[in-house]
Amino acid sequence: MTSKGPEEEHPSVTLFRQYLRIRTVQPKPDYGAAVAFFEERARQLGLGCQKVEVAPGYVVTVLTWPGTNPTLSSILLNSHTDVVPVFKEHWSHDPFEAFKDSEGYIYARGAQDMKCVSIQYLEAVRRLKVEGHRFPRTIHMTFVPDEEVGGHQGMELFVQRPEFHALRAGFALDEGIANPTDAFTVFYSERSPWWVRVTSTGRPGHASRFMEDTAAEKLHKVVSSILAFREKEWQRLQSNPHLKEGAVTSVNLTKLEGGVAYNVVPATMSASFDFRVAPDVDFKAFEEQLQSWCQAAGEGVTLEFAQKWMHPRVTPTDDSNPWWAAFSRVCKDMNLTLEPEIMPAATDNRYIRAVGVPALGFSPMNRTPVLLHDHDERLHEAVFLRGVDIYTRLLPALASVPALPSDS
Ligand code: MET
Ligand SMILES: [Zn+2]
Ligand SMILES: [Zn+2]
């Protein structure tokens, strides 16, 4: 569908653009406005609405469409409400205006990650309700804060709450990533984020001298070891066409700190790394490897973790998993090609899977460049609307999966 005058815009697109205008941007998201938006949606759709404050000021909003068989586990449709910051000067349009160009592209922070998905869930439920459907399993939509900074005041706390257990989630959907081809990517596992700060200490002194045992030279050794490992993983990915990005471990050097003056050799310097560890890695051995790189650099080099996820899980993508069977059957019926992959980044699905709920990462955007966290993040309205169609088919199938042993 191409763009028409605003009076002819599809109401689902109008709602999407309204949500995009709410400034839930890190580091100071307007969560109050987002919660009010979802409360209003619940009122309009006649859905149950529960607010769970997992930390002061951090509310998870749960919208519920009850199923006809309360003994069955439920379907959890999760989305985060926060978005990452922007470099406004690099955008063609104000990232919080949800500008739509003459071709139908909607420009906004969150257009792909992941405000599209929140509205697609809501609009699919609205359509199905309006058509008078009921399904055996309850559908819960959770709108959570804090994902973009790690989920520590969001899903990580929510999964530990009695309110989460009371949802009795049997299966969950959360975000995926756009696919530039005709196919749709679906994620069945994730790499584990390890955020590592290496601190090097050494002899301070006058910077005109050939100082020995300096913090900088030891830090340099660690940086070299880690970047050599990065190169090795990159080559492994490049040389094997069967490997996708999420199947190897990545690392980037993201911060360098230390020093006070040009002519003073500092006693301390640090380097920060964002590792994304593949799910098949032996975590203990990998941590020992990191430690040994530090030790090999010399005395006084230590590491600390700012984030260290230790519970990777894999959701099976074969017909032994009835949720996968239902999901993939719908895609097949709709002639959608699926590309199952390991999520290279981290999403709230890691917390959901870790408490035993099978989950897939899926944002139905094909023929769309990957622009999450990028300048000019945008989504075509036709792709967005097709996504609503896809959920309108997926939800009946998932919410009608017959009773499972795990339901009792
Ligand atoms: C590692 S915390 C998660 C934040 C974000 N989703 C990322 O993958 O970087
Ligand atoms: Zn996201
Ligand atoms: Zn993101």
Ligand 1 atom with minimal separation from the 274 CA = 1
Q: Do 219 and 326 belong together in one domain? A: no
Beta bridge partners of 84: none
Using 50, 70 and 90 to split pLDDT, how confident is the model at 26? very high
Q: Do 209 and 68 belong together in one domain? A: no
pLDDT computed for residue 179 by the predictor: 98
Using 50, 70 and 90 to split pLDDT, how confident is the model at 6? low
Q: ipTM greater than 0.95, yes or no?
A: yes
Q: Token pair for residue 46?
A: 């006649």
Mark whether 146 is an active-site residue: no
* Residue 5: pLDDT over 70: no
Kindly state the helix (H) or strand (E) to which residue 229 belongs, with its residue range.
helix 215-239
Q: Is 142 in contact with 54 (CB distance < 8 Å)?
A: no
* Residue 16: pLDDT over 70: yes
Q: Do 288 and 333 belong together in one domain? A: no
Pairing of strands 184-190, 105-107: unpaired
Condensed to tens digits (0 to 9), the pLDDT of residues 105-151 reads 999 999 999 999 999 999 999 999 999 999 999 999 999 999 999 99
- Coil, strand or helix at 269: strand
pLDDT computed for residue 93 by the predictor: 98
Whole-number Å distance between alpha carbons of 325 and 30: 39
Q: Which long-range contacts (CB under 8 A, 24 or more apart) does 232-237 make?
A: none
Amino acid of residue 397:
A
- Whether ligand 1 lies within 6 angstroms of the CB of 372 is answered as no
Whole-number Å distance between alpha carbons of 56 and 69: 35
Mark whether 82 is an active-site residue: yes
Beta bridge partners of 251: 275
Q: Do 248 and 355 belong together in one domain? A: no
pLDDT computed for residue 408 by the predictor: 77
Q: Which one of the listed residues 82, 123, 156, 381 is annotated catalytic?
A: 82
Q: Do 184 and 210 belong together in one domain? A: no
Ligand 1 atom with minimal separation from the 148 CA = 4
Ligand 1 atom with minimal separation from the 150 CA = 2
pLDDT computed for residue 54 by the predictor: 98
Q: Do 293 and 365 belong together in one domain? A: no
Closest by CA to 354, choosing from 248, 249, 279, 273, is 279
Q: Token pair for residue 242?
A: 């069967």
Rounded mean pLDDT, 180-207: 98
- Domain count of the chain? 2
Using 50, 70 and 90 to split pLDDT, how confident is the model at 23? very high
Q: Do 213 and 334 belong together in one domain? A: no
Q: Do 207 and 179 belong together in one domain? A: no
* Residue 4: pLDDT over 60: no
Compute the distance from residue 169 Cα to the ligand 1 centre, in Å: 23
- Domain boundary pick from 266, 288, 306: 306
Q: Is 330 in contact with 401 (CB distance < 8 Å)?
A: no
Q: Do 295 and 342 belong together in one domain? A: no
Q: Do 173 and 294 belong together in one domain? A: no
* Residue 321: pLDDT over 80: yes
Ion ligand 3 contact residues with beta carbon within 5 A: 113
- Coil, strand or helix at 4: coil
Whole-number Å distance between alpha carbons of 261 and 241: 48
**381-398 and 11-20 helices, crossing angle to 10°:** 100
- Whether ligand 1 lies within 6 angstroms of the CB of 178 is answered as no
- Whether ligand 1 lies within 6 angstroms of the CB of 346 is answered as yes
- Whether ligand 1 lies within 6 angstroms of the CB of 177 is answered as no
Condensed to tens digits (0 to 9), the pLDDT of residues 50-103 reads 999 999 999 999 999 999 999 999 999 999 999 999 999 999 999 999 999 999
Give the ligand with the smallest distance to the CA of 345: 1
Closest by CA to 80, choosing from 157, 174, 171, is 174
Using 50, 70 and 90 to split pLDDT, how confident is the model at 317? very high
- Phi, psi of 143, deg, nearest 5: -115, 110
Domain of residue 181, CATH code: 3.40.630.10
Condensed to tens digits (0 to 9), the pLDDT of residues 194-244 reads 999 999 999 999 999 999 999 999 999 999 999 999 999 999 999 999 999
Rounded mean pLDDT, 1-18: 81
Q: Do 164 and 242 belong together in one domain? A: no
Rounded mean pLDDT, 393-403: 98
Q: Please give the residue range of the domain that contains residue 116.
A: 6-190+312-407
Q: Is residue 202 part of a domain?
A: yes
* Residue 7: pLDDT over 80: no
Place of tokens 């870790």: 354
Q: Do 302 and 282 belong together in one domain? A: yes
Annotated binding site: 80, 113, 148, 175, 373
Ion ligand 2 contact residues with beta carbon within 5 A: 113-114, 175
Condensed to tens digits (0 to 9), the pLDDT of residues 340-369 reads 999 999 999 999 999 999 999 999 999 999
Instruction: Name residues whose C-beta falls within 8 Å of residue 382's C-beta, 6 or more positions apart in sequence.
Output: 1, 2, 104
- Domain boundary pick from 269, 287, 306: 306
- Whether ligand 1 lies within 6 angstroms of the CB of 150 is answered as yes
Q: Token pair for residue 101?
A: 């160009």
Domain of residue 251, CATH code: 3.30.70.360
Closest by CA to 174, choosing from 13, 321, 364, is 364
